[in-house]
Structure 1
Amino acid sequence: MERAISASDANQRFSELLREVAEGESFTVMSRGRAVARVLPVDRAREQRSIQHLLKFVAALPVRHAGNWSRDELYE
Structure 2
Amino acid sequence: MKSVDIREAKVNLSRLVAQAAKGEPFVITKAGKPLVKVVPVDAPSPRKVRRLGFMMGRIKVPDDFDRMGEEEIAALFDPGS
Answer with 1 or 2: which has the greater Rg: 2
Distance 2:38 2:28 in 1: 8
CA apart distance, 1:33: 1.1
2:33 counterpart residue number = 34
TM-score, L = length of structure 2: 0.50
- Pairing 1:7–2:6 present: yes
Alpha-carbon RMSD across the aligned residues, in angstroms, is 1.7
Distance 2:35 2:29 in 1: 6
Distance 1:45 1:27 in 2: 16
TM-score, L = length of structure 1: 0.53
SS at match of 1:28: strand
Percentage identity across aligned positions? 26
Structure with higher helix content? 1
Between the two proteins, the alignment pairs up a number of residues equal to 46
Gaps in structure 2 of 5+ consecutive residues: 50-81
Gaps in structure 1 of 5+ consecutive residues: 50-76
Deviating beyond 3 angstroms after TM superposition, the runs of 4 or more aligned structure 1 residues are none
Distance 2:44 2:20 in 1: 17
Superposed, 1:44-59 pairs within 5 Å as: none
CA 1:31–1:18: 2 relative to 1, 3 Å: same
